[in-house]
Amino acid sequence: MDYLLIIAGFVLLTGGANFLINGATGLAAKLNISNLVIGLTVVAFGTSAPELVVNVVAAIEGSNEIALTNVLGSNSINTFVILGMSALFYPLLAQRSTIRVEIPLSLFAAVAVLVLGSGMFLSPVKGLSRLDGVFLLLCFTLFIFYIFYLGKKGKAPVADENYKPMGIAKAVSLVVGGLACLAIGAEMIVRSAVNLAVSWGVSQAVVGVTIVALGTSLPELATSVAAAYKKSSDIAVGNIIGSNIFNVFLVLGVSAVIRPLPMYPNLVADAAVAASGSLLVLIFAGLGKKHTLKRIHGIILLAVYAAYLAWIIGTL
């Protein structure tokens, strides 16, 4: 039953995120909010909504390991698996601003979790304290200001120009329905993941960094692979890097403020893997004049994650 509930929860998460994005985009368009604001807020938040809701539920219920590993696992899957698979479909060109700012910021976010979680900065307590959560949310606020700065310079991404506004009633219904699906799906996943961890005799961290993380990354997977197939490199790369930043600064920030997240045994390793993913993408995209993630880079990323997954299985 727990397996079925997790699958059903993932379906609700994915559907809920789509409902939320479509409804909020329609509502914003109806209220004459610019495409830029829609793209930078509604769509970006929507792709990270599964991680956010799962983490909030996990933090409230005291499933701290799932809250931490969901984000670290999702970021690793985003970088190694989703970008890796996307690069196999089509070489991904990274913009200069992405290489100079956004990818390094994604790397900084992963390193921040490593440093804060180890108790080296702000708090001597190992894990993420409420003060650490406030620091992450402050970083998220600065990131939003940076995005709007890019928007004023005309360099930030925008929402789909072919989008047709919908009625307010329909838009509100989609938003409410999407939030309901996210909440119900998150509750089902967290409870079932805890039950599976107990029945398998493994820690919640193992389930969180693999099964839960993969499920909450489904929106990013669908978006980036489809974008790469359509040769839309900016969307494929920007979606992943932006999601990684949102996941750490917003999702973990909110989670830690709700309830401090204690350190778990593999936190250093999981955070280091997440950071290495951003570092590899930075190296691959920064090499050469074309700033492109090639198919060989995609193969390397997938191979590294396969080795990491084999290590996790070997530690069971």
- The reported pLDDT for the residue numbered 288 is 65
Across the range 174-185, mean pLDDT stands at: 77
Helix (H, G, I), strand (E, B) or coil at 14: helix
Task: Please provide the average confidence, as pLDDT, over all residues in the chain.
Answer: 77
Q: Choose the most confident range, by mean pLDDT, from 27-31, 164-168, 188-192, 264-268.
A: 264-268
How many C-alpha atoms does 298 have within 13 Å on its Cβ side?
20
Q: Percent of the chain having pLDDT more than 70?
A: 75
Q: Percent of the chain having pLDDT more than 90?
A: 16
Q: What is the DSSP letter of 128?
A: E
Q: In the predicted model, is pLDDT for residue 36 greater than 50? A: no
Q: In the predicted model, is pLDDT for residue 52 greater than 60? A: yes
pLDDT digits (tens, 9 = 90+) for 280-298: 999 998 876 678 888 999 9
pLDDT digits (tens, 9 = 90+) for 195-248: 777 787 777 677 777 777 777 676 667 666 666 666 665 666 776 888 888 889
What percentage of the chain's residues is helix, strand, coil (to nearest 5)? 80, 5, 20
Q: In the predicted model, is pLDDT for residue 147 greater than 80? A: no
Residue 57: which domain range? Answer: 2-314
DSSP one-letter string for 169-222: HHHHHHHHHHHHHHHHHHHHHHHHHHHHHHHHT--HHHHIIIIIHHHHTHHHHH
* Cβ atoms of residues 65 and 205 within 8 Å: yes
Q: How far is it, in rounded angstroms, from Cα 69 to Cα 208?
A: 5
Q: In the predicted model, is pLDDT for residue 33 greater than 60? A: no
Residues 6+ apart with CB under 8 A from 299: 84, 88
pLDDT digits (tens, 9 = 90+) for 267-284: 888 899 999 999 999 999
Residues 6+ apart with CB under 8 A from 100: none
- The reported pLDDT for the residue numbered 307 is 93
Q: How far is it, in rounded angstroms, from Cα 210 to Cα 74?
A: 8
State the CATH number of the domain containing residue 154.
Answer: 1.20.1420.30
Q: How far is it, in rounded angstroms, from Cα 2 to Cα 199?
A: 10
* Cβ atoms of residues 250 and 140 within 8 Å: yes
- The reported pLDDT for the residue numbered 120 is 62
- Note the pTM of the prediction, 2 decimals: 0.76
Query: What is the tally of structural domains in the chain?
Result: 1
Residue among 227, 220, 244 nearest 293 (CA): 227
